[in-house]
Amino acid sequence: MDLISLYPTWYEPTVGSGWVVALIATFHVLASHTSVGAALLFAYLSHKAYREDRDDLLDFVKKYGLFLMVFTYVAGSITGPGIWYSTTVASPNGIGALIHSFVWKWATEWVFFVIEVVGVYMIVYLVGKVDKRTHMKISVLFGIASFATMIIIIGILSFMMVPGKEQWFQEGGYLNGFYGTNTFIQMGMRVAFMFTMTAVVGGIVVASIKDAAFKKEMARKLGWLGIIATLVGAGLFQLYLTSVPSQALLVMENRLPDYFGPSIIAVLAGTLAYFIITMLRPQTLVQGFAGGMAVVILVAGLWPEETARESMRKPWVAGQYVYSNQVIGRDVPGMDVKSQLPIIEKVGILQAHPFTPEHLKTVTDNNKIQAGEFIAMTYCSNCHSPSQTGIRPLHRYFPEGITQARMESYVRGVLTTGNIAYMPKMPMIESEVKALSAYLMLNNSGGDAAVQVAIKEELKAADHALAMQKAQDKVALTQEAQ
């Protein structure tokens, strides 16, 4: 039987499954990057407190650590499983590809994460209860464990863009997939932005310091940390662009909105201005100002950056062999993975998909719109919303009044051949081309309401045809009995 490893499609009609994942992931990045940067900052401050015998630095570590427990570790521990759940239902083959390649890396990351969670509690609640040297050792171990979690995750994120070495496709092996130029450059870039976020979020804690001299000292420390990290991160981002596949640059140049570049520059300039102001005038550093800047970093900085990184991977979602619509689009001998495109080209997506409803496996006049909707959900909904809202709504991509012939020509000549660089190849047999075209035309002209009306009419016609067939069969049986 010609079946491929596809799962039922999860579709969120309001914003789309892609945005659900992106919203959770963006907030998680803020929490996780802040926690790692703060862990390394704590190691430095605890060492300085031990060397200079300063209780005020340990008190700052305690306050910042308590804030981390509430903000990053609670919120991060919620959004972390949220990412796992949302990506599993939105991109099961994508997450499956990562698990098959890096399951033990993830297990190792969880070991370090447990150490990290225990460590933050010890750092906060052992201030004043153990000597400064012991606290320093705990802080250093906490920083190492926290940084180790990031190193492991960065390797996996880099693989999602491109495997570390080209021989991974032929030989497999997690080291070939994990380590590459992109991995180390991205690591440096994320470490830099990690310290930027640590400095911004740390400003919320600095704002509560009563001692003017100590507040000025900490504002200057975090200010310099933020300025240096922001400038280094911006430079490493340019270097990062040299380590991604040429197709990723093509997508970035052609698919990202025109405001992306200027908005990133504006955020960087605003971030630098924030650090300079708080260094020169620490009294302006109040919790509302610092908290507002954290929100700006989240909305205007992290969201566009994470969106750009996700978009640059198109048409792939993992390892340059799993398409964004979950179809395996390339042979990977090293992992004993076969492309699913030949099977789909042979029998069509409706026959190849194991969860196609039985009445849709063959396109007829009584199910054409239903079949077209199923094909659109399978092939398109991870990147394009069939509804009027959500991520990249389908209706925006076709002109009003487009004819059936022109739509079929587009589907047949562009989608089934994979002629758009940032979109997967979507094989279809001729009846499926006509079904998808009919659905896209109806969705384009009347939206989901028109689609649902047409589906009801198809179901009514199918029920009528079934009733007629049953009546004919009954008559035939009666005649045979006579």
The 3-class secondary structure across 247-309, one letter per residue, is HHHHHHHHHCCCCHHHHHHHHHHHHHHHHHHHHHCHHHCCHHHHHHHHHHHHHHHHHHHHHHH
CATH match of 343-481 with 1.10.760: yes
Q: Where does the pLDDT of residue 74 fall: very low under 50, low under 70, confident under 90, or very high at 90 and above? A: confident
Q: pLDDT at residue 477 above 80?
A: no
The pLDDT assigned to 330 comes to 95
Q: Which stretch of 142-156, 216-230, 251-265 has the lowest confidence by average pLDDT?
A: 251-265
pLDDT at 400: 86
Q: What is the pLDDT of residue 185?
A: 94
Distance separating alpha carbons of residues 81 and 461, to the nearest angstrom? 45
Residue 406: CB atoms within 10 A of its CB come to: 14
Distance CA 9, CA 12 (A): 10
> What share of the chain in percent tops pLDDT 90?
61
Residues 157-172, mean pLDDT to the nearest whole number: 93
CB 123 within 8 A of CB 138: yes
Tell the residue number behind the tokens 């504006």, with chain if given.
266
pLDDT value of residue 51:
94
Distance CA 352, CA 347 (A): 6
Q: How far is CA 444 from CA 44, 133, 247, 302, 437, in A?
A: 58, 68, 29, 33, 10
Residue 10 tokens, joined = 């999860």
Domain with CATH 1.10.760 in the chain: 343-481
Q: Is pLDDT above 80 for 114?
A: yes
What confidence score (pLDDT) does residue 275 get? 93
Summarised one tens digit per residue, pLDDT across range 124-155 is 999 989 999 999 999 999 999 999 999 999 99
Does the pLDDT at position 30 exceed 90? no
Whether residue 259 is predicted with pLDDT greater than 80 in this model: the reply is no
**Predicted TM-score (pTM) of this structure:** 0.89
- Which segments of the chain belong to CATH 1.20.1630? 17-323
Q: Is the peptide bond before 315 cis (omega within 30 degrees of 0)?
A: yes
17-323 CATH, one of 1.10.150, 1.20.1630, 1.10.260, 1.10.10? 1.20.1630
Q: Which residues contact 391 (CB under 8 A, 6 or more apart)?
A: 15, 16, 18, 19, 383, 384, 385
Q: What is the pLDDT of residue 481?
A: 67
Report the distance separating Cα 254 and Cα 244, nearest Å: 16
**What pLDDT score does 339 carry?**
96
Tell me how far apart the alpha carbons of residues 95 and 76 are, in angstroms, rounded to a whole number.
Answer: 19
DSSP SS3 for 323: strand
Highest mean pLDDT among 295-304, 392-401, 432-441: 432-441
Residue 1 has pLDDT above 70, yes or no: no
The whole-angstrom separation of Cα 222 and Cα 231 is 14
Helices in 281-403 by DSSP H: which ranges? 287-296, 303-312, 341-347, 349-352, 368-379
Closest Cα partner for 207 from 195, 217, 215, 199?
215
How many residues in total does the chain contain? 482
